Amino acid sequence: MTTQTTTAEAPRVRRVQLPIVPGIGLLLVALLILWLAVNLGKTPSQFFQAFLIGITNGSVYGLVALGYTLVYGILELINFAHGDVFMIGGMITATFAVSVFNLGSNPSLGNLVPAVIVMLVVAMAGCALLNAGIERVAYRPLRSAPRLVPLITAIGVAFIIEDVAFIWKGPRPVQLPAETLPSGAVFTIGTCPNCATYHWNQLFVLMVTVPVLLGLVWLVRYTRRGKAMRATAQDKDAAAMMGIDVNRTISFTFLIAGALAGAAGVIFALYETSIQYNTGFTLGLIAFTAAVLGGIGNLPGAVLGGLLIGFIQDYNEGFSWHAPGSSWTNSIVFGILILILVFRPQGLLGEHTPEGG
């Protein structure tokens, strides 16, 4: 009788506690909307300027986050070396911009466009091969090991890549010429001087990011390689029984993820005009947070998460009314990561699974 009473009471306690979680989430969302609305009313130019910058930064985060989510979707592995592969793409870009093409400030379009195309090809190819090599050497032999083992290995690979970049370029930031990209105004919102301005270098980020994202969607959805990737992500054993080369498919996924990191490295280096050996560590963690926020393993979720993190960062740093400021940006971003893992581990667009909580 005692055992039956205990068993009957336990579900009753859980049913009472469950509604608290969505209640907290709704309260936080309501406070956020109120904060945004007040800032929009007080300083509309700051609001729209932060919005435009958030789209730009969020696009880069989304591009890097796609690499995390591709690898996790097929291997359920968090490739923490991915951010440092992105950093190598930026280093390649800086090297070509300064040493090969001798780009100065405000180069002509005739010099800039071919240089950007070559840098994209070289950085994407180099990072793709680097990422595939990491998978072959460091991850494939550990595929049947406990999950903690490849995770620790990924962290070790990240430090190795950082050390290589440190030896290659030194501890100081590698600088590109100021205004390597055109910085004139594309359009403005409002009446200047109190206006929000969208610049050509911000448009460049979207001009590269959007075609890359569309190409990835086409690859995953409509090609034989993409179908093999989806089949392998669903069930490796069943995919192998259907004649799919699982090892080759996983290596191809790492190639694509590395190419995305290389493209993001080119965009970041040309837009920020500075990159350092440890840049990939911080930006990689932010992109990982974006992937978790959107739903790791979900491609649209990675893009959505990247944009949301970009908006959160730039609204926090760009608003003047009750904004914590730039010194709190990383704390806010990783606080969001903790909240997502606690309250909705599957992310905004991810599916609820037993493993995901």
Residue 30 CB-density burial (10 A; 0-12 exposed, 13-18 middle, 19+ buried): exposed
**Continuous segment of H or E residues that includes residue 165:** helix 148-169
d(CA 56, CA 203): 8
pLDDT of residue 352: 57
> Which residues, 6+ apart, have CB-to-CB distance to 56 below 8 Å?
202, 205, 206, 271, 310
Establish whether the linkage from the previous residue to 193 is cis, with ω within 30° of 0.
yes
Contact (CB, 8 A) for 270 and 97: yes
d(CA 144, CA 142): 6
pLDDT of residue 271: 93
CB hemisphere CA count around 67 (13 angstroms): 36
150 by DSSP, 3-state: which?
A: helix
> Which residues, 6+ apart, have CB-to-CB distance to 112 below 8 Å?
103, 180, 181
Instruction: Going residue by residue through the chain, which has 357 residues, state the pLDDT in tens, using 9 for 90 and above.
Output: 444 444 444 444 444 444 455 677 678 778 888 888 888 888 888 899 999 999 999 999 999 999 999 999 888 888 999 999 999 999 999 999 998 998 888 888 888 999 999 999 999 999 999 999 999 999 999 988 888 899 999 999 999 999 999 999 999 999 998 888 888 889 888 877 778 889 999 999 999 999 999 999 899 989 999 999 999 988 888 989 988 999 999 999 999 999 999 999 999 999 999 999 999 999 999 999 999 999 888 888 999 999 999 999 999 988 888 888 888 888 988 888 888 888 888 888 876 554 444
CB hemisphere CA count around 212 (13 angstroms): 29
275 by DSSP, 3-state: which?
A: strand
Residue type, 82: H
pLDDT of residue 6: 45
78 φ/ψ sector (left φ>0, alpha ψ -120 to 50, else beta):
beta
Chain length of the chain: 357
Closest-CA residue to 249 (of 70, 81, 87): 70
> Which residues, 6+ apart, have CB-to-CB distance to 91 below 8 Å?
165, 168, 169, 174, 265, 269, 275, 277
